[in-house]
Amino acid sequence: MAKGSRSQIKRERNAKKDTRPSAKLSYARVSVQKACFVLDAIRGKDVQTALGIVTYNPRYASTLIEKLLKSAIANAENNNGMSADNLYVAECYADKGPTMKRIRPRAQGRAYRIEKRMSHITIVLDEKK
């Protein structure tokens, strides 16, 4: 089989899997902008500091991200055998999800569109070197 064949390229691409522990929340009922306020605060921090930040943050998105962070820590301990003391938030980002469109009646028979946005939130942890 030639090195440039399609199956060989796929095999090489799939061999480079990311083994870092992570957790993903799909279709979260919070907009990307609002989730990013909380994610920017915990990016690069160790997990104990990050948990403290999201626990006492008054934003709605912080409750979702707290649960997601605890899930990522549990994945690291149970699936990868890592210690929670050595973990830090390597990556965290929110991608745009689908938007629910609703109609709000307004004066003189007009209708305004209300957009209820969703997001996909991902947290990736890694061990300190």
Count of domains observed in the chain: 1
pTM equals 0.83
Written as tens digits, the pLDDT of the chain (129 aa) is 556 788 888 888 778 777 899 999 999 999 999 999 999 999 999 999 999 999 999 999 999 999 999 999 999 999 988 999 999 999 999 999 999 999 999 999 999 999 999 999 999 999 987
String of DSSP letters for 19-38? -S-EEEEEEESS-HHHHHHH
String of DSSP letters for 76-127? HHHHS---GGGEEEEEEEEEEEEEEEEEEE-GGG-EEEEEEEEEEEEEEEEE
Q: Distance (Å, rounded) from C-alpha 61 to C-alpha 80?
A: 27
The answer to whether residue 122 is domain-embedded is: yes
Range of the domain at 118: 20-127
pLDDT at position 14 is 79
The answer to whether residue 4 is domain-embedded is: no
* CATH code of the domain containing 71: 3.90.470.10
The answer to whether residue 46 is domain-embedded is: yes
Q: Which of 104, 28, 34 is nearest to 68 (CA)?
A: 28
DSSP helix/strand/coil, 2: coil
pLDDT at position 129 is 78
pLDDT at position 19 is 84
pLDDT at position 3 is 66
Q: Distance (Å, rounded) from C-alpha 111 to C-alpha 67?
A: 37
The answer to whether residue 33 is domain-embedded is: yes
